[in-house]
Structures are given as structure tokens and as C-alpha cells.
């Protein structure tokens, strides 16, 4: 069940990150989910480092860090995807 939640959170964070970023990101849905999952993991890691991973009530800071992580990873994933796809179409 944990993997199902990770996929759902990755999908939601990845799609929100794509909506926040300017322009059109051309990464496929599967890569969006993976980038969202990695961003969530980075956000959890950052929240643990700041000591705010487990707080009373809703962990807004952790969720914000997860979203920031997803935005960064989706932006990087889009650049890598464009570079890889660009190289394939040239050759």
C-alpha cells in the first residue's frame, strides 16, 4: 500500500509542479510521476534535516518542501528529457 501512496503523491506533485513551471514540459506521464516521487523524497529528507517532518497537525512545511523538490526535479527531468530526445532526432 505504501507504493500506491507514493505513486499517487508522485503523480499529484508532478502535475502540480508542471503547472507551476512556465512553458510546456514535454516529459511523459510516467517520468512526471517518477520526478514527483523523487521530489517528495527530497522534501521529506529536507524536512527531516530541519526537524519539521513530524509536527502536530498537518505538516505544511513538509508538504511545501515536497512541492519545491518536485518543481526542481521536474524542471531538471524536462531538460534531460529534451536533451536526450534532441540527440535521438538528430542521429
Share of the chain above pLDDT 70, in %: 95
Per residue in 44-59, pLDDT (tens digit) is: 999 889 888 777 878 8
Q: Averaged over 54-82, what is the pLDDT?
A: 91
- Conformational region of residue 27, where left means phi above 0, alpha means psi within -120 to 50, and beta covers everything else: beta
Global pTM?
Answer: 0.86
Q: What is the predicted pLDDT for the residue at 32?
A: 95
Q: What is the DSSP code string of 53-91? A: SS-SS--HHHHHHHHHHHHHHHHHHHHHHHHHHHHHHH-
Amino acid at each position: 500500500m505504501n507504493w500506491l501512496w507514493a505513486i499517487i503523491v508522485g503523480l499529484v506533485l508532478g502535475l502540480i509542479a508542471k503547472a507551476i513551471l512556465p512553458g510546456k514540459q514535454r516529459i511523459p506521464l510516467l517520468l512526471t510521476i517518477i520526478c514527483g516521487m523523487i521530489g517528495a523524497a527530497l522534501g521529506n529528507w529536507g524536512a527531516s534535516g530541519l526537524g519539521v517532518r513530524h509536527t502536530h497537525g498537518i505538516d505544511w512545511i513538509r508538504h511545501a518542501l515536497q512541492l519545491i523538490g518536485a518543481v526542481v526535479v521536474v524542471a531538471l527531468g524536462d531538460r534531460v528529457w529534451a536533451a536526450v530526445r534532441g540527440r535521438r532526432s538528430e542521429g
